[in-house]
Every structure is written in C-alpha cells, then in structure tokens.
C-alpha cells in the first residue's frame, strides 16, 4: 500500500510537469503558425485565440498519450537508477507487479483520451472549420485594424487606416494601394466614412484626398485631387468548406461503409489503444544498467513511439483507400505492440537471456568416505 501511494504520487508529479512542458511547446508552435498566417493576410487577428483553442483541443489526446508514456518511463528509470529495483526484487516481487498500480493510474488518462478521441476532437475540428468559414465570409472593411497594413488578395488592395472613431464611424487618414501589375492606383484621404444605400450596397466614401494613377516604371502619372470619392465595398462571398471526415461524429462513422470514414474511425480507436500499449511497454523499457548509463532506453523508447505512430498513419491510409480490412489494420499494430511488451517483460523477468542457456546442473561425483 505504501509503495502504491508513493508510486502514484511520483507519477502524478512527473505527469504534471511533462504535460505543462508539452502544452507550452504546442502553444508556441501553434502561435507562430497562426501569426504567420495573420501576417500574410490569410487570417484575421481576432481569430488567433479562438483558432488556437480549437487546435489545442484537436491535439490534446496526443499530448495525454505522450505524457503518460514518458511519465511511466521516467519513473521506472529513476527506480532503477536509485537502486530501488534491487530492493524490490530482493523482497521477492517481480517486475510484473508494477503493472497493476501503473495501469490503475493510467486508467483515467486512457478514459479521457478515449473521450477526447471519439467526441471532443471531432467537435473541435467541426467548430474550427465553421469559425474559419465565418472569418473568410466577412467583408473587407470589417477586417481592417487601425495602425496596420492589411492585404486583400481577392480585391487586389493594400489598405491602411490610422484610426476609427467608434462613436460616429469616421475613419482618419486612409491609404489604398492597388496590387494590379498593369496599372497602379493609389488613394489617400484625410477622412472617410461608410455609406449604405437603400438597395444594400455599401461604399467607402473618402474625403479630401488625392488619387495617383499610372503604369509602374513610367513617369506618366495622373494626380487627381478630390473632395469626395466613393469606392464600393465588395460583398462577402459565402465560401463553402467541404465536409471533412475528421469533423464527423463517431456514431455516423460506425454505420458508414465508406472506406474514408473507416480510416478515420481506425485512427480514433487507435490513439487510446496506443496509449495503453505504450504504458505497458514503458515498464520494461525503463530498465537501466548503471554501468552503461540511461541513454539507450530513451533512444529505444523514442524509436518505438515513432515507428508505432507512423505505422498507424500508414495503416490509416491503407484503410481509407480500401486496401486493408478495418479489423486487420486495428489488430496488426496493437497486437504486435502487445507481443513486444510481453517479450520484453519476460526478458526482464528471466534470469538468463534468450540467447544464453542456463548452465546444466553438475552431477555430484564425490563418493562417501568408507567406514
């Protein structure tokens, strides 16, 4: 009982630290990607935080699997390094006795991973697609931000505004640059406002400005001063996002004979199973020979995880193209992982290795002394 409590406490502390580090790395990577898209005009700055939340929910089940695997591996490795395993084996307890408390600790992780993989991850994917569609369907003027140059590739414009009066909607110091290669047009105005006509058409009316029109590379330019100049605001185009199998509900995937949907169902079921197999594999992989260091087991663990996850991606592609049966694809990687875990556990329990035979018992040739 004391061993179980101490083991669970150590696993909890290790898992919390690893999870925080993994989330921080994921946040940094996603923020850089989203900022790059926002700088290129492909994403509104207001959508960075919501998109970040949706992406984190999509990858959360993978983070839980990695956290569980590394926490068990580090805990078992520390027990070998600090010679606690010697005391454990000296008391007559085998290595397989670690399975029960570790699996009891991993059960909430695996159950949460199952819920995330089957329900929350497709919901986050669906919400992200809908939110992205709403952002792409917004009109041009609603995507402007004071103090920033904004590129609109659909309209071929670069727009800059200095400030917006939120009370009357007046815009100060407007700059528009056309991106057309054959003809350059630049507009600058001291102020502007939005005019909505009775028929629903919207115009950006600029006041007290200049208009420069010409061909790039030539000195033939027209400079036109205007008191008022209106530019029509292009209405938002309703972009249609193709439905993705990653955003479909799990119940609809279960009743569908479509190979693409079977491949997605294979992936959702494989993530919790991979977490279970990696948890069992982490126990024999945590073995450390103090004379050789502890680098080998970490290298082996990383290689096993990479091979495992990449094999799932390959098998998912085979299922989606109807080249492999769903149940066979589900059995191959997880069955091989279970066999590997059983062999490694048996290898650590055996006194002699597989390639070494135990010495034969020698016959006692000593003859008793004659009386």
Between residues 187 and 204, the one the model is more confident about: 187
Render 68-101 in DSSP notation, one character per residue.
Answer: HHHHHHHHHHHHHHTTHHHHHHHTT--GGGGHHH
Residue 90 shares a structural domain with residue 197: no
Mean pLDDT to the nearest integer, 323-330: 93
- Which pLDDT score, from 0 to 100, does residue 25 have? 93
Mean pLDDT to the nearest integer, 275-279: 95
Is residue 258 over pLDDT 80? yes
Is residue 220 over pLDDT 80? no
Between residues 148 and 25, the one the model is more confident about: 25
Between residues 311 and 35, the one the model is more confident about: 311
Q: Is residue 364 part of a domain?
A: no
- Which pLDDT score, from 0 to 100, does residue 249 have? 87
Residue 149 shares a structural domain with residue 132: no
Confidence class for position 118, pLDDT limits 50, 70, 90: very high
Q: Is residue 356 part of a domain?
A: no
Between residues 45 and 72, the one the model is more confident about: 72
- Residue-averaged pLDDT of the chain: 82
- Which pLDDT score, from 0 to 100, does residue 238 have? 52
Q: Is residue 358 part of a domain?
A: no
Give the domain extent around 15.
2-136+242-349
Which residues are registered as beta bridge partners of 203? 195, 232
Between residues 218 and 272, the one the model is more confident about: 272
Q: Is residue 355 part of a domain?
A: no
Mean pLDDT to the nearest integer, 116-136: 86
Residue 30 shares a structural domain with residue 131: yes
- Which pLDDT score, from 0 to 100, does residue 277 have? 96
Q: What pTM did the predictor assign?
A: 0.75
For the stretch 75-94, pLDDT in tens is: 988 888 877 777 777 776 77
Share of the chain above pLDDT 70, in %: 80
- Which pLDDT score, from 0 to 100, does residue 73 have? 93
Residue 183 shares a structural domain with residue 60: no
Q: Which of 214, 232, 250 is the last residue of a domain?
A: 232
Mean pLDDT to the nearest integer, 63-85: 88
Is residue 291 over pLDDT 70? no
Residue 111 shares a structural domain with residue 183: no
Residue 48 shares a structural domain with residue 127: yes
- Which pLDDT score, from 0 to 100, does residue 6 have? 83
Q: Is residue 362 part of a domain?
A: no
Share of the chain above pLDDT 90, in %: 35
Mean pLDDT to the nearest integer, 122-144: 75
Considering only CA atoms, which of 225, 269, 257 is closest in space to residue 119?
269
- Which pLDDT score, from 0 to 100, does residue 353 have? 47
- Which pLDDT score, from 0 to 100, does residue 352 have? 46
Residue 104 shares a structural domain with residue 198: no
Considering only CA atoms, which of 58, 123, 7, 82 is closest in space to residue 271?
58
Number of domains observed in the structure of the chain: 2
Residue 180 shares a structural domain with residue 197: yes
Q: Is the dihedral of CA 244, 248, 252, 253 positive or negative?
A: positive
- Low-confidence winner among 30-39, 79-88, 148-157, 259-268 (lowest mean pLDDT): 148-157
Considering only CA atoms, which of 58, 65, 107, 79 is closest in space to residue 6?
79
Residue 159 shares a structural domain with residue 292: no
Size of the chain in residues: 371
Q: Is residue 305 part of a domain?
A: yes
- Which pLDDT score, from 0 to 100, does residue 371 have? 47
User: What's phi and psi for 212, nearest 5 deg?
Assistant: -115, 120
Distance, CA of 216 to CA of 24 (rounded, Å): 47
Between residues 353 and 64, the one the model is more confident about: 64
Mean pLDDT to the nearest integer, 187-204: 81
Distance, CA of 141 to CA of 159 (rounded, Å): 10
Q: Is residue 342 part of a domain?
A: yes
Radius of gyration of the chain (CA): 32
């Amino acid at each position: 009982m004391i061993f179980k409590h101490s083991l669970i406490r150590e696993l909890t502390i290790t898992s919390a630290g690893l999870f925080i580090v993994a989330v921080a790395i994921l946040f940094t990577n996603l923020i850089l990607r989203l900022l790059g898209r926002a700088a290129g005009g492909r994403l509104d700055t207001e959508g960075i935080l919501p998109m970040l939340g949706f992406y984190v929910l999509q990858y959360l089940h993978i983070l839980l699997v990695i956290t569980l695997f590394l926490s068990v591996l580090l805990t078992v490795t520390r027990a070998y390094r600090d010679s606690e395993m010697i005391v454990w084996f000296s008391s007559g307890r085998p290595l397989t006795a670690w399975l029960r408390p570790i699996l009891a600790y991993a059960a909430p992780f695996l159950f949460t991973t199952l819920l995330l993989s089957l329900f929350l991850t497709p919901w986050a994917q669906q919400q992200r697609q809908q939110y992205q569609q709403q952002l792409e369907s917004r009109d041009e003027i609603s995507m402007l931000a004071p103090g920033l140059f904004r590129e609109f590739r659909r309209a071929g414009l670069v727009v800059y505004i200095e400030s917006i009066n939120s009370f009357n909607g007046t815009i100060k110091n407007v700059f528009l640059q056309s991106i057309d290669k054959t003809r350059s047009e630049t507009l600058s105005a001291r102020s502007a406002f939005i005019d909505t006509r009775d028929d629903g058409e919207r115009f950006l009316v600029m006041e007290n400005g200049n208009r420069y029109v010409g061909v790039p590379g030539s000195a033939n330019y027209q400079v036109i001063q205007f008191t008022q100049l209106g530019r029509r605001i292009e209405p938002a185009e309703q972009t249609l996002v193709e439905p993705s199998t990653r955003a479909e509900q799990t119940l609809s995937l279960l009743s569908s004979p479509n190979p693409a949907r079977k491949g997605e169902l294979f992936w959702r079921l494989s993530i919790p199973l991979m977490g279970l197999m990696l948890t069992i594999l982490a126990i024999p992989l945590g073995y450390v020979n103090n004379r050789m260091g502890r680098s080998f087991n970490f290298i082996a663990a990383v290689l096993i995880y990479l091979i495992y996850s990449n094999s799932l991606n390959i098998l998912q592609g085979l299922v989606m193209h109807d080249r492999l049966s769903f149940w066979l694809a589900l059995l191959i990687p997880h069955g091989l992982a279970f066999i590997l875990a059983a062999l490694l556990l048996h290898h650590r329990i055996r006194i002699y290795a597989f390639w070494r035979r135990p010495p034969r018992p020698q016959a006692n040739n000593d003859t008793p002394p004659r009386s």
